[in-house]
Amino acid sequence: MSLQGKVAVVTGSTSGIGLAIAKAYAGAGAHIVINGFGDADAIEKERADIETQFGVEAVYSPADMSKGDQIAKMIADAESTFGSVDILVNNAGIQFVSPVEDFPVEKWDQIIAINMSSAFHAIRAALPGMKARKWGRIINTASAHALVASPFKSAYVTAKHGIAGLTKTVALETATFGITCIAICPGYVWTPLVEKQIPETMEARHLTREQVINDVLLHAQPTKQFVTVEEVADLALFLSSEGAKSITGTILPIDGGWTAE
């Protein structure tokens, strides 16, 4: 499959799922905009490695996904640099685990901004160019939590359900423009985001680390295995192909059977 000449913006792509998706697109020949927080030297190494390994151009945007104006500038800068934004992957996300009554208001606001509103701002900025070119792929990284809930994750579950609704709406508005909009819904993937929430879940549920992994995380997935970042990236790559041009408005789980129960 070739994405030669296409340009992909992948938010939250300095590690985990986002980085795997960015590399998959680069491997298919797309130029890449990566984005996210982290150690500056580590980010530059990943950016340079993408260029060296795949022979494409890769740039880094430090845009803060909680700031709509910075998101719009990221899209504008990508269009200025490469001439287009053909593929947009809204992948940025954070997590916080707490009972509703103790949930810090600032954490709620931050999660809604980064996990949900950032997708709106990026889509809003990218759509005019996609419509003009009559081609575009918008992939929103949702979660199994776009379809089901878990305790102590009120903001995250709310944001991911919101992403599902945004996906359907954008798909309907763009259906005649050669643009698709899909939400992919991974189950538990072994990423820094999941690893970070283990201590929080241990505290909230009064469990050991092993109990959180086996009785909370993998308990949800009938396969009893974590989804891999490569599996998610392969799905995103297919959804950006011509073979997937009729797949739009879809909320697509990749969750080891979690939401089948």
Q: Could you list the active site residues?
A: 156
Which residues are registered as beta bridge partners of 227?
A: 189
**DSSP state letter for 15:** S
**CB-side neighbour CA atoms (13 Å) of 258:** 28
Distance, in Å, from the CA atom of 239 to the CA atom of 135, rounded to the nearest integer, reads 13
- Cα four-point dihedral sign 185, 190, 193, 196: positive
Alpha-carbon radius of gyration of the chain:
18
Residues found in the chain: 261
**C-beta of residue 160 within 8 angstroms of C-beta of residue 182:** no
Measured CA distances, 146 to 71, 80, 93, 252, 254 (Å): 23, 34, 13, 10, 12
Which residues are registered as beta bridge partners of 184?
A: 141, 252
Q: Using alpha carbons only, give the angle 205, 209, 210 rounded to the nearest 5 degrees.
A: 110
Which residue, among 194, 218, 208, has the nearest Cα to 95 in the 3D structure?
Answer: 194
> In this structure, what token pair is assigned to residue 46?
């990943």
Instruction: Give residue 46's region: left, alpha or beta (phi > 0; psi -120 to 50).
Output: alpha
